Amino acid sequence: MLKKCASRIYLFLMFAFLYLPILVLIVLSFNDSRSKVKWGGFTFKWYTGCFQDEKIMAAFVTTLQITFLSAIISTLIGTLAAIGIAAMKRKGQAIFLGATNIPLLNADIVTGISMMLLFVKFMDLGFVTVLIAHITFSIPYVILNVLPRLKQANISTYEAALDLGASPLYAFYKVTWPEIRPGVLSGFMMAVTMSLDDFSITYFTKGAGVNTLSTMLYTELRKGIKPELYALSTILFFAVLLLLLIGNVRPAKRSSERFDK
């Protein structure tokens, strides 16, 4: 009984540690006063201000574009690569998986800088370089989600389909695709998550005019905190909550797949 009580208290304390900062942001986003500590009444003005702020909106749009483009392209390249890798002999697989590990194991700051050094030689830093960088660090997550599914899939069923006269594409669509689809989907979701959350790599590859939410926030945070940012946090928090609740009927399954591949 005592043990149960202690663990309940611990759960509560950790919950508070994780959520108090977010709660403070949410409360302050409705506060009609620029002060961080005085309650000046209830207001929505930071929300309207947030939507009228050009910097915030531009960063928001850029973030969405980068995230979805990079997730789609990296899912495509990554899934194709995984199918190719699965057909390779041991040695080829080792080389490809070794290269796949480089962006995963490297520190973000090193990955970002190394790409910046390359990009400035050949082009101006901007939207395209950020997009390339995001695709690069997202592909490994797709491959590592799809490859195990391909290895579990029974190759004989695909061959049987071919023997029975199916074209390779048709056999793939009817036999292999249903088996790897969950892996492709979770790879796509992880690419989205990683791209949304990235700061360091974007920071080094973005150039002057382009900002994602993370880099925009970084610049703003160094200047001081605008109350519009509280509103932005609140909107994003509930957007994420809603998306996860809709997208995940089995929430913990997805989150545990993140590291458990």
Partner 1 sequence: MSKFKQQFLSGPYLIWIIGFILLPMAMIIYYAFTGSDGTPTLQYIAAIADETNRKALGLSLWLGVICTVICLVLAYPLAMILSNMHIKNQSFVVFIFMLPMWMNFMLRILAWKLLLSKNGVINSVLTGMGLSRINIINTPAAVVLGMVYDFFPFMLLPIYNALTRIREDWIEAAADLGAGKITIFFKIILPLSLSGIISGIVMVFVPSLTSFAISQVLGGGHVLLIGNVIEQDFMQGMQWNAGSGLSFVLMIFVIASMALVNSFDKEGEGTVIC
Residues 58-117 that bind partner 1 (CB under 8 A): 77-78, 80-88, 92, 96, 99-111, 113-117
Task: Return all residues near 260 (Cβ < 8 A) that are at least 6 apart.
Answer: none
CB of 91 to partner 1, least distance (A): 12
135 scored as a contact of partner 1 (CB under 8 A): yes
Nearer to partner 1, 61 or 102 (CB): 102
21 scored as a contact of partner 1 (CB under 8 A): yes
CB of 92 to partner 1, least distance (A): 7
Report how far apart, in Å, the C-alpha atoms of 16 and of each of 10, 27, 104 are: 10, 15, 31
Task: Return all residues near 56 (Cβ < 8 A) that are at least 6 apart.
Answer: 50, 216, 228, 229, 232
Distance CA 5, CA 70 (A): 47
Q: Which of 25, 58, 72, 166 binds partner 1 (CB under 8 A)?
A: 25
Taking phi over 0 as left and psi of -120 to 50 as alpha, with beta for the rest, 35 belongs to beta
Q: Which two tokens stand for residue 92?
A: 């080829």
Site for partner 1 in 194-233 (CB under 8 A): 196-200, 203-204, 213-214, 217-218, 221-222, 225, 229, 232-233
Site for partner 1 in 139-168 (CB under 8 A): 139-140, 143-144, 168
What is the DSSP-derived secondary structure letter of residue 208?
Answer: T
Site string for partner 1, 34-53 (x = CB under 8 A): --xx----------------
Q: Residues touching partner 1: how many (CB under 8 A)?
A: 92
